Amino acid sequence: MGSIKVRRHWKPQILWLASTLSLLCPVAGAQILPAPPAPFSREVPSGEGVCSTHTSCADLAPRMIQSALGASPLEENLRYLTDSIGGRITGSPAANRAVGWAVEALRHAGVDEVHTEKFTIPAGWSEGHTQIEVISPESFPVRLVSIAWSPGTPEGGITRDIVDVGPGDDAGFARAGEAVKGAIVLVHSDILVTWDDLFHEYAVASGIADRSVHAGALAILWMSSRPNLLLYRHTVAGAGQIDHIPQAVVAREDAERVARFLARGQRVRVHFEMSNRVTGPVESENVIAEIRGREKPGEFVLLGAHLDSWDLGTGALDNGCNAMMVIDAARVIRASGVIPRRSIRFALFTGEEQGLLGSWDYARAHRPELDRMVAAIVFDGGIGEVTGFSLGGRKDLLPAVREALEPVQSLGVKDFTFDIDTGTDEFDFVLEGVPTLVANQAAANYLINYHAASDTFDKVDIAQLKRQVAISAVTAYALADREQPIGPRQSRAQIEQNLKAEGVDSRAPGKWYLFQKGDRGRQP
């Protein structure tokens, strides 16, 4: 990612609040705002909407930061979501329970209104019993889990040879030749170290699956890109559809063992059984809350993170921590006692892991009001230090965003980039031409635990997550309260140009195709 040179001087926060001052300080001599309410309290400070003196108004950002970093329900909320509710696959009972609980948690945060918005995903899915038994040349354990939204094997399983197709590129399939037909293919991977490695893993997956199907393979075994027997779950199918052939992730060490036999020219024959449960279309819900703006309530900033997760772990880093951040940001803004000029919506999307299905549906369902949507702010990077935001290709937003976010410069928000993230919930707003901000975060412990059995509560640095609450609350407030929006909604031609300039057409051909067709994004 590129980085933009930033000013190192820290401007007094009073500048950011210049517009707030004139509108929110009409009552001289009113009482100083009380301390933030206790965890899970519905109390709203009595001085709501007014400031007593310029000093207390100018303190707004520091106040919000202090409130975020202090005692809060954040840790207990995350513990409940991850330990008590657990992994939350879209359409599952756990995901539905999380939705109901999040509605309550947002009510406790004191927002004006909370509701859910239903949408339908193409299929429901859960893993059944997944097993490989090695018949020859030796019997040894092969640990594996199903790829999400993969079909199961036919009842009773299949008994077939494994064929090594290397990294699954054209050369790998060419080397394997006719042997692939009717076999189970083994696809190698490199160990995941960087964000780029992860993007690469996603970028090549659907091509490999297509090659496997075209070559007549019956199933795919993906070598885990994480060592030490760590297993994780991915989807390969794009938008919640069931894949063509059964696929599983195999523990790296076990997959390498299979590959060594094959490299010696020994035949590896296995019995592979996977009894996934697949249903027809299922409903899911986004949770949407709002703090209504004082002056232009029809205009809004959206702060969002996805609530759904995979289920081998409990979805703590991805993305339970940031879903709980959104709820606590609502509490912090409410507890500040001031109302922003425009509304702030808080969105907990579901269906993200199946292909951004919840945020896609939201963008589509709310198209008539997207001209009044000032920005979408999305967090989906675990608890790595926030270095700034990516502005989705929109260089025109930089001056306003930089000015608006000066109050969080001291928290490390300094660098703004312009890449378009095609893999999280801001993407459909980019496609609609709405300004977007995605938190740029250090990798920290995100990648090793990504979608894995090890993505659990203990991985979350609560102190850092509180800083994210501070950053997200101040950012949402600053954009909502700014006199002018940070930038206009783009026309379809501008969006198309932006997507091409950022390489979305080549990086995410499936999504690009849907945009071209008009199924996704601003309508022609």
Question: Which stretch, 28-36, 193-201, 313-321, 381-389, contacts Zn ion (CB under 5 A)?
Answer: 313-321
Q: Judge contact between 281 and 250, C-beta under 8 A.
A: no
311 lies in the site for Zn ion, by CB under 5 A:
no
Site for Zn ion in 377-436 (CB under 5 A): 380
Distance CA 439, CA 305 (A): 11
Question: Which stretch, 48-56, 153-161, 319-327, 479-487, contacts Zn ion (CB under 5 A)?
Answer: 319-327
Separation in Å, CA 110 to CA 45, 63, 107, 363: 10, 17, 5, 25
Residue 86's CB: how many other CB atoms inside 10 A? 18
Residue 313 makes CB contacts below 8 A (sequence gap 6+) with: 87, 449, 451, 452, 453, 454, 455, 456
Q: How many residues bind Zn ion (CB under 5 A)?
A: 3
Question: Which stretch, 109-117, 163-171, 372-380, 392-400, contacts Zn ion (CB under 5 A)?
Answer: 372-380
Q: Judge contact between 11 and 473, C-beta under 8 A.
A: no
What is the rounded (10 degree) CA torsion for 416, 419, 423, 426? 60
Closer Cβ to Zn ion, 380 or 406, answer by number = 380
In the complex, the smallest distance separating the C-beta of residue 400 from Zn ion, rounded to whole angstroms, is: 27
Closer Cβ to Zn ion, 36 or 382, answer by number = 382
Residue 272 makes CB contacts below 8 A (sequence gap 6+) with: 131, 132, 153, 157, 158, 159, 160, 184, 219, 246, 248
Distance CA 76, CA 98 (A): 14
Question: Which stretch, 13-21, 24-32, 157-165, 310-318, contacts Zn ion (CB under 5 A)?
Answer: 310-318
Closer Cβ to Zn ion, 425 or 432, answer by number = 425
Closer Cβ to Zn ion, 310 or 515, answer by number = 310
226 — phi, psi (to 5°)? -115, 135
Distance CA 171, CA 205 (A): 15
319 lies in the site for Zn ion, by CB under 5 A:
yes
Closer Cβ to Zn ion, 380 or 426, answer by number = 380
Site for Zn ion in 92-111 (CB under 5 A): none
Q: Judge contact between 312 and 226, C-beta under 8 A.
A: no
In the complex, the smallest distance separating the C-beta of residue 450 from Zn ion, rounded to whole angstroms, is: 9
In the complex, the smallest distance separating the C-beta of residue 202 from Zn ion, rounded to whole angstroms, is: 12
In the complex, the smallest distance separating the C-beta of residue 447 from Zn ion, rounded to whole angstroms, is: 12
- With helix as H, strand as E and coil as C, how does 370-405 read? HHHEEEEEECCCCCCCEEEEECCCCHHHHHHHHHHC
In the complex, the smallest distance separating the C-beta of residue 354 from Zn ion, rounded to whole angstroms, is: 12
Closer Cβ to Zn ion, 243 or 421, answer by number = 421
What is the rounded (10 degree) CA torsion for 495, 497, 498, 500? 120
Helix (H, G, I), strand (E, B) or coil at 432: coil
Q: Which tokens belong to 342? A: 């425009």
Site for Zn ion in 187-246 (CB under 5 A): none
Pick the binder of Zn ion from 318, 406, 496, 502 (CB under 5 A): 318
In the complex, the smallest distance separating the C-beta of residue 321 from Zn ion, rounded to whole angstroms, is: 10
Q: Considering only CA atoms, give the Rg of the chain.
A: 24
In the complex, the smallest distance separating the C-beta of residue 247 from Zn ion, rounded to whole angstroms, is: 21
Question: Which stretch, 23-31, 67-75, 315-323, 441-449, contacts Zn ion (CB under 5 A)?
Answer: 315-323
Site for Zn ion in 21-40 (CB under 5 A): none
In the complex, the smallest distance separating the C-beta of residue 421 from Zn ion, rounded to whole angstroms, is: 10
In the complex, the smallest distance separating the C-beta of residue 226 from Zn ion, rounded to whole angstroms, is: 17
Using CB under 5 A, list all residues that contact Zn ion: 318-319, 380
